[in-house]
Amino acid sequence: MVFIEYIVLLNEDGLPKLRISNYYKDVLSNQRATSADTKEYIQEKLRSAAWLIKSIHQRQRTIYKVATSIVKFQKEFLDKGIDYLRPLVLRDVAEDIEMHESTISRVTTNKYMHTPQGILELKYFFKSSIQQKAGEKISSESIKEKIRQIIAQEDPSKPISDQEIVARLKESGVAIARRTVAKYRESLGILPSMKRKKFF
């Protein structure tokens, strides 16, 4: 059995290496040439610069923690694909890394992860879920993929209805309503069966 371990690395290409210029430190150390007002002004700006650099480093550390937590929760998805995408909410990651949900929401906006399953927005991993009769939850994204696959395999001259899709999903252990199938199908940009029919 092959065990795959994932290593999280931040892509810092294009991120400038910020540091405070020694010039301003030299100005402060020159007692005679620098007035008290000038020193106070420079010290205030140096404090602001140090705070900005610290904040950027803190944000990078937070992104790293969030990405590491997502990898831990979604390892099966990374290994095997969409059918194994686990239902996940912001609270799960927030509790895992002991941060507030709003922080997780902010740092996952417009951030992407390069994975074995493609380049995905961090928000992609936080999907709604459907409760199954057995008590298990399944990701809405996994259900959408199942619907897409079912329709991709249909006979173009006899496209299957949403109700038939419900029946096929039930056979595979996924129980959802017809209106939910219709909603997911529409979100995939797939037309209803009557409009998918092709005449030969």
CATH at 176: 1.10.10.60
Mean pLDDT by 10 residues, the chain (200 residues): 81 79 78 75 88 90 94 92 86 93 91 93 81 68 88 88 90 85 90 78
What is the C-alpha to C-alpha distance for residues 54 and 41, in angstroms, rounded to an integer?
20
Q: Does 89 fall in a domain?
A: yes
Number of domains in the chain: 2
pLDDT at 33: 64
What is the C-alpha to C-alpha distance for residues 174 and 137, in angstroms, rounded to an integer?
10
> What sign has the CA pseudo-torsion 52, 58, 59, 60?
positive
**Do 186 and 167 fall into the same domain?**
yes
pLDDT at 2: 62
**Do 106 and 157 fall into the same domain?**
no
pLDDT at 131: 63
**Do 30 and 114 fall into the same domain?**
yes
> What sign has the CA pseudo-torsion 155, 156, 158, 162?
positive
Of 125, 151, 177, the residue that ends a domain is 125
pLDDT at 92: 92
With a threshold of 0.75, does the pTM exceed it? no
Of 125, 153, 178, the residue that ends a domain is 125
pLDDT at 31: 67
Q: Does 8 fall in a domain?
A: no
Nearest CA among 179, 133, 156 for reference residue 165: 179
Q: Does 16 fall in a domain?
A: no
Q: Does 11 fall in a domain?
A: no
For 141, list phi and psi in degrees, rounded to 5: -70, -35
What is the C-alpha to C-alpha distance for residues 65 and 62, in angstroms, rounded to an integer?
5
Q: Does 50 fall in a domain?
A: yes
Of 99, 125, 151, the residue that ends a domain is 125
- The domain of 165 spans 129-196
CA distances to 31, 122, 128, 180 from 187, rounded to whole Å, are 68, 19, 14, 11
In a 10 Å sphere around its CB, with 0-12 CB exposed, 13-18 middle and 19+ buried, how is residue 66 labelled? buried
